[in-house]
Amino acid sequence: MTTETFEFQVEARQLLQLMIHSVYSNKDVFLRELVSNASDALDKLRLAALRDDTLDADVSDLHIEIETDDGARTLTVRDNGIGMSYEEVGRLIGTIANSGTAQFVRELREAREASEASEAGKAGKADKGGADDQAEGLIGQFGVGFYSGFMVADEMTLLTRRAGESQGTRWSSRGEGTYTLERVDGAPQGTSVTLHLKPADSDDQLHDYTSAWTIKEIVKRYSDFITWPIRTVPKKADGVDGTGDGDAAPEPETLNSMKALWARSREEVSDDEYHELYKHISHDWREPLETVRLQAEGTFEYQALLFVPSHAPHDLYQQGSKRGVQLYVKRVFIMDDCEALLPPYLRFVKGVVDAADLSLNVSREILQQDRHIKMMQRRLTKKVVATVKDLLTKDPDRYATFWREFGAVLKEGLVTDNDNRDALLAVASFASTHSADEPTTLQSYVERMKDGQEDVYYLAGESRESIENSPHMEAFRAKGIEVLLLTDAVDEVWVDVVGEFEGKRLRSVAKGEVDLDAQGDEEAEGAREKQGEEYAGLLGWMTEQLGDDIKEVRLSSRLTVSPACIVSDANGLTPALENMYRAMGQEVPKAQRILELNPDHLLVKGLNQAYKDREDRTELAGTAELLHGLAVLAEGGRPQEPARFVKLVADHLERAL
């Protein structure tokens, strides 16, 4: 048969060089691309045979074969799928040499240059979400996946015959200036791609792709769930010549499991199989707490199999820790830790998402930002949150395990996810003074609110013990009013962002003025007015003495035992929140807080009497400063000048003795 030689355009030669050096971050993916092409060819043949009863094609054993020859240093990927005609080879494989190549090369070069600039600017950390995204999703339009073989081979040969035709086609190229096309007789149905691998000592050859172990590992990683069997072609043993003499030829080995559990109905899969998949993808030896299945149909189809772990990973709160689920497209592995598919507050979720089609960049390694990605994230997020709600209502024990392990991170969504905020509030639970053991939901809190109570009260602190011992809690405890006890760092942020629940304001017992006496109680109001008049002089004098340390000194209605406490304005920042913002690099002006005194405490009564009786109040200034320091300590803070505070305490003890 006549062999025709064609020249690549200048841009095509440049493209091949970019392919080899820039497009893929991992050379192993060349095998993924070739296997994916073979799988597509098998799918097309199966559909063609169903549509055309007269098609002369063998569909009895559709499969993919991988054959290696370490002596000749070749690797062949073969399928018995739909195959290609002579014209299709020129049009599909040769597309890379068409006139549109120049634009593609320009985009790819720009992406590479931007990536290199990003690399230099980020001290070696690749910005995969930026520069690589500049390359358009051109897989299948330019045959880029097929040409990835040149990363590991210095020559590629393709032999193909379309199902139903008698004549085949051979394509060959060294990836330089030319390629050849030839019509051949006797070619088997389907397509085989043979790579003449680069020398073993080549810098470009990262692995020995003639090694059976290497091939098995790559197939297991990228193509384990391909629908069709991927088999090795075993090397013939000495003496095997096809005549029956010598040892029997070894059986081919199937490398992939073909068990895409997410594509099978729930009834077809056992819990053990689900758990085994979870352990495989999460590297967690424990069984998952819950399995979440999702199948989306319509204009955009995808399937998801997600797992909620039973224990929080050690790096859950570490910056830079890996998060996200595995992404597949048509059962072909694309990437680990796909962050775009779930929000950060669901970073503990593991699993697999398999899309029928998805916009990827040229190397299939990075997601393009399109509406499908956002649509998948919204649906997956709602499904996980709904699963947590089911646990809350139907399985309290497992919900308690979930909230203990992941409640703090889930509450981050109350700050960042406006769309799902109400759903997250419905599944959140909090420690409360109502019970020492059982946390409460906001709904349950509202249902228990006392007559006339208008707010949902909470107090944030480092631990339950420190909160319960806070002076801010005294009046609430005395009157039996329930208070939520918030101990996670994110709590002080989300309560400000959320603001209310079912029309009830979320209110800190350590902020603003608190009046728990019944409105309209003339006797109580009269007593407060009288106390205000009695302490007016002391309050004004202490406000002046403490100066910049406080905004004002006033009488308290929240204290029953302690002499004093420190509170913030109703809309002010607490010290913990100030420190949090500063740790995040945000400049926050120091807020002046309010010192509240308990007018019924003997210490405060004595200080007020001394203020009235003495003209020289020098010693009383130290007592005022000491009272302020005690209030700071009571809420878990630290006096601005610890040494001076200790000296004040010592001096007062000395005088008392």
Q: What is the pLDDT of residue 520?
A: 52
Q: Taking residues 608-630, report their average pLDDT.
A: 87
More confident residue, 584 or 42: 42
Structure tokens at 225: 């769930």
Q: Taking residues 201-216, report their average pLDDT.
A: 75
With bands split at pLDDT 50, 70 and 90, how would you rate the model's confidence at 99? very low
List beta partners, residue 180: 5, 172
Q: Taking residues 633-642, report their average pLDDT.
A: 83
Angle 222-224-228 from CA coordinates, rounded to 5°: 115
More confident residue, 566 or 577: 566
Share of the chain above pLDDT 70, in %: 83
More confident residue, 337 or 216: 216
- d(CA 598, CA 563) in angstroms, rounded, equals 5
- d(CA 570, CA 76) in angstroms, rounded, equals 73
Q: Tell me which amino acid residue 285 is.
A: W
Q: What is the pLDDT of residue 205?
A: 46
More confident residue, 114 or 400: 400
Structure tokens at 385: 């949150």
Residue 143 reports pLDDT greater than 50: yes
Q: What is the pLDDT of residue 403?
A: 96
With bands split at pLDDT 50, 70 and 90, how would you rate the model's confidence at 129? very low
- d(CA 523, CA 639) in angstroms, rounded, equals 38
**Contact yes or no for 172/158 (Cβ under 8 A):** yes
- d(CA 411, CA 458) in angstroms, rounded, equals 15
- d(CA 305, CA 325) in angstroms, rounded, equals 10
For the ranges 221-230, 360-369, 593-602, the lowest mean pLDDT is seen at: 360-369
List beta partners, residue 333: 328
Q: What is the pLDDT of residue 549?
A: 80
Mean residue pLDDT of the chain comes to: 83
pTM over 0.85: no
- Burial degree of 303 (CB within 10 A; 0-12, 13-18, 19+): buried
**Contact yes or no for 55/164 (Cβ under 8 A):** yes
With bands split at pLDDT 50, 70 and 90, how would you rate the model's confidence at 123? very low
Q: Parallel, antiparallel, or unpaired for β 74-79 and 290-296?
A: unpaired
Range with the largest mean pLDDT of 22-31, 33-42, 46-55, 617-626: 33-42
For the ranges 7-16, 324-333, 569-578, the lowest mean pLDDT is seen at: 7-16
Structure tokens at 92: 């599909």
With bands split at pLDDT 50, 70 and 90, how would you rate the model's confidence at 128? very low
For the ranges 107-111, 401-405, 498-502, the lowest mean pLDDT is seen at: 107-111
Contacts of residue 567, Cβ cutoff 8 Å, sequence gap at least 6? 472, 510, 511, 512, 558, 593, 594, 596
Angle 529-530-534 from CA coordinates, rounded to 5°: 120
Q: What is the pLDDT of residue 246?
A: 52
Angle 55-59-65 from CA coordinates, rounded to 5°: 130
Q: What is the pLDDT of residue 518?
A: 52
- d(CA 624, CA 640) in angstroms, rounded, equals 15
439-482 pLDDT per residue, tens: 999 999 999 999 888 999 999 988 899 899 999 999 999 989 99
Domains of the chain, CATH where assigned: 3-7+28-94+143-232 (3.30.565.10), 261-390 (3.30.230.80), 428-509 (3.40.50.11260), 534-656 (1.20.120.790)
Exposure of 135 in the CB half-sphere (CA atoms within 13 A): 33
DSSP assigned state of 182: E
Among 222, 388, 383, CA closest to 295? 383
Exposure of 190 in the CB half-sphere (CA atoms within 13 A): 23
- d(CA 486, CA 489) in angstroms, rounded, equals 9
With bands split at pLDDT 50, 70 and 90, how would you rate the model's confidence at 342? very high
Among 113, 256, 229, 84, CA closest to 171? 84
Q: Parallel, antiparallel, or unpaired for β 593-597 and 550-555?
A: parallel
Among 651, 515, 522, CA closest to 596? 515
Contacts of residue 243, Cβ cutoff 8 Å, sequence gap at least 6? none
